[in-house]
Structure formats: C-alpha cells, structure tokens
C-alpha cells in the first residue's frame, strides 16, 4: 500500500491560501485554507488540541507538594483554601473563591500572632490555571525575591492558596498585617496561552477592596511577558505605591507598552 506522507504532501481536497506568509505579523489563525468552505482537517485538529490544553489547564489541580518544596526556598509556606470546596463550585461561585475557610483563617492568625507584620505578603494561587503556577512562579520569584530583599522589604510567609480568586489576597494580607499584598495567580487560559500568570498587587489590603484599588501585570509566561521584565515592573510599581500610599487607579501606570500601532500606516501592507 502506498504510504501517504504527512506534512510534505499537499492535503487532498484542500484549497490553500497564498497569504499564509502573513502569519509573520500575527498569531491569529489566518490563511488556514479551506475544504469546500470549511476548515481543513489539520487546522481543525490544531484548534481542538489548543482547546483541550486550555480545558485541561482549568481543571488541573494545584500540585501543592511540588509547590511547597519550590516555595520553601523563599520562606515559610502556609496552605490556605477558599470556601469553594471543589472546582465546579469554584467556577460557579466567585464569591466563595474570595473568602478564606475557617481553618485557613486560623492558620494565618497563628502566624500573625507570632511574627511582625511584613512589608510584603506573597500569595500563590491556582486561579483558573494551576499550570501557570507550576511553570512560572519559581522562575519569577527567583528574580523578584532578591530585588525585594535588596530594598529591605520584609517578606511574610508564602501563602499557597487553592480554589482562589484574586480578592482572596485581601483577607490574607489583612490578617498578616501586610503593607502590600502581591498575588501570583493563574489567569483565564487563552487558546494559545494556557499557562499565563497574572500578578496583582494591592497597597494596604483589606477585605472588601475594590478592583480599582489594585494593579495588574498580566500574561507573564515563557512565551509572553518575560520574568525579568515583570519583576522589574512589579518592583517599580510597589516602590511607587509605597511612596504614594495607594495602589490601583491612583497609581500612575507608566507601563503601558501595549500598543505597536504607530501611525497605522507603517507596515500596513493594505495601505502601502
């Protein structure tokens, strides 16, 4: 029987798009070609794979053993859980994901009774992608923690949180008496970014903080915003927040490097 080679051969019944070279300008799924007017098999299955990876990232449990070991390098590790007892509850009840359960509150109170209030409290939380935590947190902290120490910022315990939303950091920071709360949390996985880490920080954290009182650095991952750059930005922003005595919209965020638009014409081949 004749062997049909995979990538090298033309796909049978597929009309290719001669503009596939434009993919150099975007990660969008352009120039896929068509079978009739439908998506050909290869791009169809590539999409299915990306969705499967994003779905798996949402449901992957946080590997607390591995993370406890990794985080021990940076300080005491305290485990906490939100009031969302499982993934299904977590997804449907964002309110529960923002509250600590009773045991976790007790653990944090015990720590606070024995230690001085830290300058920074670090929370590492699964959020919507434990994969983002497994793959990025250690590399990020390896750069950020020495920066914080050089500044003389005292670090509280590293709080490892399960089934957590961003605002769970508020009661954690409040109980520890931290000046600044930093939360490293798995972001909502995108189709091409199942491993994206979000970093939120809040000056003077307390239960009931509004989202407008936080700042965020997002898309931190190997193929996204780099660790070095993210650590430097966080370091800069915390210094600004401490000087200002506030975070969130009050803090002028000069980090807006999000646009490559220019005059809209340069590089725009449709207008050349």
Strands 180-186, 77-81: pairing is unpaired
CA quadruple 32, 34, 37, 42: dihedral sign:
negative
User: What is the closest distance, in whole angstroms, from the C-beta atom of residue 240 to another protein in the complex?
Assistant: 20
Query: Left, alpha or beta for 208 (phi > 0: left; psi -120 to 50: alpha)?
Result: left
Q: Is 29 a residue that touches another protein (CB under 8 A)?
A: yes
Contact segment (CB under 8 A) with another protein among 24-32, 75-83, 118-126, 237-245 equals 24-32
* Footprint on residues 94-133 left by another protein (CB under 8 A): 94-95, 128
User: What is the closest distance, in whole angstroms, from the C-beta atom of residue 89 to another protein in the complex?
Assistant: 11
Find, among 122, 108, 58, the residue nearest to 80 by Cα: 108
Which helix (H) or strand (E) segment holds residue 6: the answer is none
Q: Is 55 a residue that touches another protein (CB under 8 A)?
A: yes
Q: Helices 41-59 and 130-151: crossing angle, nearest 10°? A: 60
User: What is the closest distance, in whole angstroms, from the C-beta atom of residue 257 to another protein in the complex?
Assistant: 8
User: What is the closest distance, in whole angstroms, from the C-beta atom of residue 45 to another protein in the complex?
Assistant: 11
Candidate residues 3, 6, 9, 37; the one interacting with another protein per rule CB under 8 A? 37
Q: Which is nearer to another protein, 152 or 264 (CB)?
A: 264
Q: Is 34 a residue that touches another protein (CB under 8 A)?
A: yes
* Footprint on residues 201-230 left by another protein (CB under 8 A): none
Q: Is 262 a residue that touches another protein (CB under 8 A)?
A: yes
Candidate residues 11, 42, 43, 85; the one interacting with another protein per rule CB under 8 A? 43
Q: Is 264 a residue that touches another protein (CB under 8 A)?
A: yes
Q: Is 86 a residue that touches another protein (CB under 8 A)?
A: no
62-71: which pairs have CB atoms within 8 A and are 24 or more residues apart? 62/126, 62/130, 62/133, 62/160, 62/162, 63/130, 63/134, 64/160, 64/162, 66/134, 67/124, 67/133, 67/134, 67/137, 67/160, 68/160, 70/137, 70/138, 71/124, 71/137, 71/138, 71/141, 71/158, 71/160
CA 69, CA 63: separation in Å to the nearest integer? 10
Alpha helices (runs of H) in 166-213, residue ranges in sequence order: 169-176
Q: Is 270 a residue that touches another protein (CB under 8 A)?
A: yes
Candidate residues 41, 45, 49, 51; the one interacting with another protein per rule CB under 8 A? 51
- Interacting residues with another protein (CB under 8 A): 15, 17-19, 21-23, 25-32, 34, 36-39, 43, 47-48, 50-51, 54-55, 57-58, 91-95, 128, 188-194, 256, 258-272
């Amino acid at each position: 029987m004749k062997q049909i080679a995979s990538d090298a051969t033309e796909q049978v019944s597929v009309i290719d798009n001669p503009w596939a070279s434009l993919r150099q300008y975007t990660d969008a799924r352009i120039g896929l070609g068509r079978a009739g007017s439908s998506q050909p098999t290869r791009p169809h299955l590539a999409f299915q794979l990306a969705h499967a990876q994003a779905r798996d990232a949402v449901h992957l449990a946080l590997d607390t053993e591995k993370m406890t070991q990794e985080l021990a390098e940076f300080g005491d590790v305290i485990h906490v859980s939100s009031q969302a007892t499982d993934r299904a509850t977590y997804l449907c009840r964002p309110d529960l994901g923002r509250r600590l359960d009773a045991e976790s509150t007790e653990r944090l109170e015990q720590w606070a009774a024995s230690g001085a209030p830290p300058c920074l409290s670090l929370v590492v939380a699964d959020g919507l992608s434990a994969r983002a935590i497994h793959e990025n947190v250690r590399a990020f902290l390896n750069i950020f923690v020495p920066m914080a120490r050089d500044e003389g910022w005292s670090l509280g315990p590293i709080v490892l949180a399960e089934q957590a939303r961003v605002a769970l950091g508020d009661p954690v920071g409040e109980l520890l008496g931290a000046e600044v709360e930093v939360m490293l949390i798995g972001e909502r996985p995108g189709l091409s970014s199942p491993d994206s880490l979000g970093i939120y920080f809040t000056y003077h954290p307390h239960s009931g903080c509004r989202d407008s009182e936080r700042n965020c650095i997002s898309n931190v991952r190997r193929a996204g915003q780099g660790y070095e750059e993210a650590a430097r930005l966080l370091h800069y922003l915390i210094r600004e927040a401490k000087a200002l005595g506030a975070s969130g919209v009050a803090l002028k965020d000069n980090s807006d490097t999000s646009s490559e638009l220019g005059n809209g014409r340069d590089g725009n081949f449709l207008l050349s």
